[in-house]
């Protein structure tokens, strides 16, 4: 059983949804983002998405755009990102880590070699925003060969004719992007999210996690009632950035928010 399957099995036993957190590697610097990463399981994150910085994050709003700029200015590289995950794995061999970002750094590394190196570092899954099903066949076989899940994104624009194509190749979980838009902006209504999740579940038995626009513990709790996981990204990134601007510890500020979010998710179905 993969770390991802084991985690969802445990959550099912606990009858609750997952809190999935996103933070950017090297933001605001390597030490702080390592401190944040290593603290996430203790603060209640069930699944960790770790962002690889990219110069041109076309699907991201300002919060994550700035995070990527800070990370690159701090010397962020893909090699460094893998090293940070390997470091995390020394203390945690259970929490699934999903590497999230854009395709070019991976393509530049060489897809076959990258998948092998990523698996060795302890990465469980990839989300590559600009690799839709139409192009994913150049990466999928290498993911499979290395036991890495490729998480496909579904969106409000993925209609019923398209969903089978998307989820047909999916493993790990299915990510539902709850708004047509970029990260850290609008939020979808509970009704819209509930409808979408049941629509997706008609096409797959995989867990469905919902992200984009979830910022508060209340919103996370609401989504946790409707789906198998709630993904929070921009709010965590912003909490770290705000703390840093105030001269406080960015990792600890982000972890404080994660603890509140985790309480929200854990209390959701109680």
Using the minimum distance from each CB to other proteins, give the nearer residue, 58 or 145: 58
Pick the catalytic residue from 27, 46, 49, 222. Answer: 49
Buried b (16+ CB within 10 A) or exposed e, 114-147: bbebbbebbbbbbbbbebebeebeebbebbeebe
Question: How far is the CA of 78 from the CAs of 51, 72, 81, 118, 122, in angstroms?
Answer: 10, 10, 5, 10, 14
> What is the C-alpha separation between 47 and 262, in angstroms, rounded?
11
Going by their DSSP bridges, the two strands 229-232 and 208-211 should be labelled as parallel
CB of 178 to other proteins, least distance (A): 11
182 binds other proteins (CB under 8 A): yes
Q: Has 60 been annotated as catalytic?
A: yes
Contacting range for other proteins; rule: CB under 8 A; set: 26-34, 176-184, 223-231, 246-254 = 176-184
Using the minimum distance from each CB to other proteins, give the nearer residue, 233 or 264: 233
Place of tokens 């709790």: 221
108 binds other proteins (CB under 8 A): yes
Among 48, 151, 166, 223, binds other proteins (CB under 8 A): 166
160 binds other proteins (CB under 8 A): no
Using the minimum distance from each CB to other proteins, give the nearer residue, 136 or 221: 136
Backbone φ and ψ of 94, nearest 5°: -120, -35
CB of 257 to other proteins, least distance (A): 25
109 binds other proteins (CB under 8 A): yes
Among 12, 58, 73, 190, binds other proteins (CB under 8 A): 58
CB of 154 to other proteins, least distance (A): 7
Contacting range for other proteins; rule: CB under 8 A; set: 69-77, 200-208, 213-221, 222-230 = 69-77
185 binds other proteins (CB under 8 A): yes
CB of 93 to other proteins, least distance (A): 28
CA atoms within 13 A on the CB side of 4: 25
Question: How far is the CA of 90 from the CAs of 98, 116, 123, in angstroms?
Answer: 17, 18, 13
CA 123 to chain centre: 12
CB of 23 to other proteins, least distance (A): 19
Q: Has 46 been annotated as catalytic?
A: no
Residue 137 is given by DSSP the state: G
> What is the C-alpha separation between 28 and 233, in angstroms, rounded?
15
The SS3 of residue 176 is strand
Joined together, the tokens standing for residue 55 give: 């110069």
Contacting range for other proteins; rule: CB under 8 A; set: 34-42, 155-163, 189-197, 228-236 = 155-163
CB of 179 to other proteins, least distance (A): 8
Residue numbers at the binding site for other proteins (CB under 8 A): 54-61, 65, 69, 72, 77-79, 103-109, 129-135, 152-159, 162, 166, 177, 180-182, 185
């Amino acid at each position: 059983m993969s770390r991802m399957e084991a985690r969802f099995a445990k959550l099912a036993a606990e009858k609750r949804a997952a809190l999935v957190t996103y933070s950017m590697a090297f933001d605001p610097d390597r030490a702080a983002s390592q401190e944040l990463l290593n603290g996430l399981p203790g603060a209640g994150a069930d699944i960790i998405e770790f962002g690889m910085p990219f110069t041109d994050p076309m699907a991201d709003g300002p919060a994550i755009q700035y995070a990527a700029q800070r990370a690159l200015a701090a010397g962020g590289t893909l090699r460094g990102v893998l090293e940070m995950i390997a470091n995390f794995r020394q203390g945690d061999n259970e929490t699934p880590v999903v590497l999230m970002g854009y395709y070019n750094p991976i393509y530049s590394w060489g897809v076959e070699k990258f998948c092998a190196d990523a698996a060795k570092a302890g990465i469980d899954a990839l989300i590559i925003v600009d690799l839709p099903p139409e192009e994913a066949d150049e990466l999928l076989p290498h993911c499979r060969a290395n036991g890495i899940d490729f998480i496909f994104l579904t969106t409000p624009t993925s209609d019923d004719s398209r969903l089978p194509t998307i989820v047909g190749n999916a493993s790990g979980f299915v990510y539902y992007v709850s708004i047509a838009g970029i990260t850290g902006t609008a939020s979808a209504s509970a009704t819209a999210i509930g409808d979408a999740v049941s629509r997706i579940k008609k096409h797959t038995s995989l867990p469905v996690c919902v992200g984009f626009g979830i910022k508060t513990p209340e919103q996370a709790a609401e989504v946790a009632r409707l789906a198998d996981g709630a993904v929070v990204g921009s709010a965590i990134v912003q909490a770290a950035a705000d703390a840093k601007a105030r001269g406080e510890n960015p990792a600890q500020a982000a972890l404080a928010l994660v603890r509140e979010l985790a309480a929200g998710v854990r209390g959701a179905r109680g």
